[in-house]
Amino acid sequence: MIDEPKRTEKFYGLDHLRALAIFLVFFFHYQNPIFDHPEWLPDYVKFGWTGVDLFFVLSGFLISSQLFENIKKGKKISYKQFFLKRFFRIIPAYVAVVALYFLIPLFREKESLPPIWKFLTFTQNFGLNLKDSGTFSHAWSLCVEEHFYFFLPMILILLQTFNLLKKSYWLLIGLFLVGFALRIYSWDYLFLPKTNSENPWLYWYQFVYYPTYNRLDGLLTGVSIAAVYQFLPDFWNRISKFGNVSVVSSIAVLALAYRVCDDGQSFYASVFGFPLVSIGYGLLIVGAISPTSFLYKWKSKTTGVVAALSFAIYLTHKGVIHVTQKLLGFANVKIDSNLMMIICILTCVISAYAMHLSIEKPFMKMRNRFIRHQ
């Protein structure tokens, strides 16, 4: 979903993780009750909701690493240039999908849409009610990332201006702790009073799961890894010798997170689940960028292609699944069959590829030309 830092080496491991993230997201959404799916699927993809957290950690690492590299070279951060890069990378494809949802009712996986201004201002994740306005609900995570893109360079510019970069680790620690405090408050005072209502899970998503201030852990984990990678080369060289150990440690932490999040709307899952998942995926990213790791050494054209299409797949997959099941249902293909699932996978990849060729690539070329003339 984001660009890689400008390094001489190619991070093949991060392509594998992008592919893993979209795999988790896709199958978690496919087993959602709004879609017919094979009976066996839900038992195997319960932890798929964490795919979006993997995307958060990846975004935090890659975006901050680019900015940190400029700082390390003694360059001032250009907010304008950063904004333009993000604009051309994200907005055209996103606006195209928003247009599909508002102009073509068949594309909507649910009946109700939030008002268009919420999508255009990236505020859809605040007060999101899955029952009354749950169509294109997965855009909530893009709202979180856009808030990150808005504030991160601004904060770094201030730290540069006041010569406080060496103290900035206190800000990271403070934001992690504030996240715990806000989730405790959200669970105790916003969600808990609603547990006797008709659909308490709606309020958990609305008050605990979706708001940006409760979901900073993944982004902050990525920023922390990027800071070590860019500014502490000796320390990084020591820990990068244990790339495969980091991958195994990641699996252990994620297994613990799976246990903690078994009851997803419990206090412990709500407060400690997100940071545990983020740390687990953070360790996986450390492994993926460590030259000693099998993830770093493993080159795969397949995961490279899936990684390149991951943003387009993320944006369109719910609508494409819905349209595919509607149309093929009339062709006597059993909607909850394995065959239907395979066909939906193919239509999602084909649709994403079409968007990649028609929108993403042309706008990326336009971005490069535009920035060269700045």
List the structure tokens of 212. 């940006």
pTM: 0.95
pLDDT given at position 9:
59
Residue whose C-alpha is closest to residue 209's, from 279, 155, 266: 266
pLDDT of residue 374: 66
Instruction: Give residue 368's pLDDT.
Output: 87
Answer left, alpha or beta for residue 136, where phi above 0 means left and psi between -120 and 50 means alpha.
left
Q: Where are the domains of the chain?
A: 12-372
Mean pLDDT across the chain: 94
Please list, residue by residue across 269-290, b when 16 or more beta carbons sit within 10 angstroms of its beta carbon and e when fewer do. Answer: bbbbbbbbbbbbbbbbbbbbbb
pLDDT of residue 340: 97
Query: Which residues, 6 or more positions from 345, have their beta carbon under 8 angstroms from its beta carbon?
Result: 26
Residue 317 in this model has a pLDDT that exceeds 50:
yes
In angstroms, rounded to a whole number, what is the distance separating the alpha carbons of residues 201 and 197? 9
Q: What is the pLDDT of residues 203-228, one digit of tens each?
A: 999 999 999 999 999 999 999 999 99
Say how far apart CA 207 and CA 232 lie, in whole Å.
37
In 3D space, the residue among 314, 356, 349, 303 whose CA is nearest the CA of residue 12 turns out to be 303
Check whether 47 has a pLDDT greater than 90: yes
Residue with tokens 């001489």: 8
Q: In whole angstroms, how far apart are CA 139 and each of 134, 161, 192, 215, 278?
A: 10, 34, 26, 14, 20
Mean pLDDT confidence for 245-251: 98
Three-state DSSP at 293 gives coil
Measured from the Cβ of residue 355, the count of other Cβ atoms closer than 10 Å reads 22
Q: Is the pLDDT of residue 2 over 50?
A: no
Model pLDDT for residues 60-78, shown as the tens digit of each residue: 999 999 999 999 998 889 9
